[in-house]
A and B are shown apart, each in its own frame.
Chain A
């Protein structure tokens, strides 16, 4: 069955970088993209961007352009999200998600990772 398993919680200082991983299993990794979504404490969901696992093409949310990089390692079926120049308002749970149902479900996110808490604090 499709599974996305994320790396563990991180604590970072302001100005540092964090790299969160998302290991996929149960499907052909290169056939689907991976999106990243974050959720600050007590807040709503924020779409961060998307990467094609097929060719590495990316699309990032405008507000994160220049600070975020999404990559994949097809040899291990793992996606990565790196966020740089961390600020306190980057404290959030970070999720990876995929639209395994693809165009049949209009690219809605039917599988999600368990989430990774990133805390930015001095």
Chain B
């Protein structure tokens, strides 16, 4: 299963609403997670099951979608949100390609 993300990068200002899209090459139900990664750090789980916020993650983050099309939305971008965001599908096992990640979306300061 292949994942694509759009855009690959975006520039935004503090307070902006940001939406990132992730598309799967075949249906994955709600087996999708979103991660945030900052330079030199391990990824951090933000959302699982497509729309469930991980404990401790601010409510300005939200996820939606099922099947093949998913979105991550940041309702009001904060300075600490400038990072790269990855989607990951958890639907298929390795013989079908494994728990693949999307290519990432870099969010930087306008």
Contact = CB atoms under 8 A, between A and B. Distances in A.
Chain B interface helix/strand/loop/mixed: loop
Interface string A38-79: 000000111101100000000111100000000000000000
Nearest to A105: B48
Interface string B69-105: 0000000000000000010101001110111111110
A9 interface: no
Given A49-B94, A59-B94, A101-B48, A109 B86 contact: no
Interface of A: 35, 37, 44-47, 49-50, 59-62, 95, 97, 101, 105-110, 112-115
18 contacts: A44-B101, A45-B37, A46-B101, A49-B94, A50-B99, A59-B94, A60-B94, A61-B97, A62-B94, A62-B95, A62-B97, A105-B52, A106-B31, A106-B48, A107-B90, A108-B48, A108-B54, A115-B42
